Structure 1
Amino acid sequence: MFYGAVLGATIVVGTSVWAESENEKKASPDASPQAVLPLEELRSFVEVFDRISTDYVEPVENKELLEGAISGMLSSLDPHSAYLPPKNYKKMEEHTTGEFGGLGMEVGMEDGFVKVISPIDDTPAQKAGVKAGDLIIKLDDHPVKGKSLADAVKIMRGKPGSKITLTIVRQGEDKPIVKELTRAIIKVKSVKEQLLNDGMGYVRISQFQMRTGEDLVKAIEKLEKENKGPLNGLVLDLRNNPGGVLRAAVEVSDAFLNDGLIVYTKGRVKNSEMNFEAEAGDLMEGKPIVVLINEGSASASEIVSGALQDQKRALIAGRTSFGKGSVQTLIPLNNGGAIKVTTARYYTPSGRSIQAEGIKPDIEIDQVKVEKLQAPDFTRIKEKDLSGHLDGENEDEESTKKLTKEQKASQKALEELLANDYELHEALSLLKGMYFTQQMKQ
């Protein structure tokens, strides 16, 4: 059973949609119903506090006891509500701006082990080959079993440049996998772009940060400049994107819509109910879009894919997403810390709640392992081996010779990308089919 939550902002990026009103939540009395104090239960709390303070085998600071009580209160609610002490709150703010230290992966707890929800692009975890779904059973020489997620995260943290060894159990592998990672300052570029064949664009969003919407616009403008004209279609890659800022998800969805509902939220208090509508200005001007998702796509990723799917603006391809349909609000406290509380559920334009269900793709793309076949040992005689053969006149080869070093490098990178990424290759094929169908109708 999956019960863990994201606790360490220096190592992970939470599968959370952050609400906008973080600094406004020291709200007026009208913001929520007046709570009735449970006096009998509070007496029991005071009694326990007093007993621990006087009878526990070692002295315990009052602050430590109270913070532990707050933490337990929140963690008993759901996997995503948590108490953030002042130091952790500061680090949580760092990851929403895209720079933090650690290994670069989103983690939770499952059956007593650390479960990798998603590695983040261009981080030690991703470069070492850590995959979504991996179970970490040992950290250096420390068994994970019996530790809390906070304890495990504390071990994974460390000075940039220092090393840690992860022992991993992976589905389909007979033996545990051992990987050595070097901790680093994680600078996450949330948006990357690549021009594909036939004027098709590829944009990868690895997580949703405050500036992701703005960076998406710049990425598409860059692709159009490289293409010397508007793109014919776009693959939007949200695979293994664990989520992030709600506003960024709304901005990315809005970038491809001219009108209509994007997402709405419902909760117990009035200010948790929000509706987000699209404004005119489709960056792709109606050209086809394929959105790639998988089991590591969560939260804000599901808002975008759900909105574009319900509005029939994009074809969703891949595998069913993670299924996190709740909104967390960061509420600052007087002690410099904060509480992260689940305040609402979000719904797609058609009224679907994705909580524990996920976004089901329109086109399923199975996960496959791509391997290059070995050439046979014997050699075959080809035309060029025959005596007196004619030389070819290949126009493509001539044009290739005229390419600059940068263009050749870009072309080689594209060939490698498509050769090694089966899901992207399939998405591009779908996109081309959608484009040609669209052109035939015009």
Structure 2
Amino acid sequence: MQEQPILEKVEQQEDYPLRAVPPEMRKSFWSLAPILVGFTLYSGTLFAGGLVGPAFRFFPDLIGVILIGNLILGIYAALLGYIAGETGLNTVLMARFSFGNIGSRWVDFILGFTQVAWYAWGSGLIADLLNQTIGFPKSLNWLLIVVVTYGFCITAYFGYNALDWLSRIAVPAIVVLMLWSLAISTGEVGGFSGLQAQEIAPQAEMPLSAAITLIVGTFISGGTQATNWSRFARSGKMAAIATLLAFFLGNGFLIFSGAYSSLAYGDSDIVKVMMKQGLLVWGLILFVLNMWTTQDNTMYAFSVAGSHAFRTEKRHLLVLGGTTLALALTLGGIYGSQFVNFLVLLGTFIPPIGGIIMANYWLGHRGQFPSLDEVQPPFNWIGILSYIAASAIAYYTPGIKPINGIIAAVIIYFVLEKVMGQKEQGMKNKE
């Protein structure tokens, strides 16, 4: 009799890595939204904006590209967020129905590996930037990397409540500091007319489809895992609205800021820009808050994926294990390698996962997942084959690759569900 309350307390402390978040533990919109916004406020998105900015006339071209790209990203993340809010499940738990009990471990691997690698890259980015801006000795890089690698995982270790409080403090501060910098940038370039008058350099030209792919692909892996927090919403509608606002406005604001800084100063690095504006200390504060609110969410996402992969409640230990693995990757030189390009490539292979889950939820289960206690087959071949085909289409076809992968996943799943699903039902009827 006493074991059940103890188990429930452990699950609560570990943020329910292996079951749905119970109704009594759901959070308000004002708790959820800052966490999701903080997750999207990532320095890597600024660099993506810096690539897009010089390639388009400021208005309406650049503004239009940013709006379209982030609307696509926001809708995708919001649809997954709706399912999470309705069911209390995150992506890796949903994948158990979409890919099977064993097949879902591929989802655990690809999502977990991507997150721990991005965490490692972020630690390297911090060390590199401090070397360049304040002259931090390169000989002590290893010490700085150790400090930030373990320091930024503290809130991930303590879970949702710690992420909540950090986001409530950091997100408003980040927005205010960035608006301050953007206001100075506007004065430097002569306002709106000055931005409009800038000519696009031939080497900066970029096709519209490539620009939208870059905007969507930069954070779509994060959108696929935003369910780790949207599952705490009190309803699917609340989760969808909070996720849409975070990914459309939060990610859009970062893309816009990177593009704007690139147009004004030829540099999307917000700390370097603020250094030129005489705001170095504020720039460093902005950078630390910006990185922390994403790094801790990244490691939290890894711990949740790892908990599902190993079917363990010990999410705290996986935070420490994942952080140690990230430290080894950073000290091994991940920041200076081509590994980031590989991670960006995963943006092609991750979106079909979301497409399969959405198709499985609305087409396969008619908007109602079964209980997690219900035994699932080792492999859901409809989901697996749909994923393989959709990933191949996303990789080889021109256009906006993340969107190609999502749409292909839904269509192929629908077709296979009609063909294979009816065949399986016929075999059961014969039995």
- Coarse TM-score class (shorter-chain normalised): under 0.3
**Greater radius of gyration (CA):** 1
> Which of the pair is proportionally richer in helix?
2
> Which of the pair is proportionally richer in strand?
1
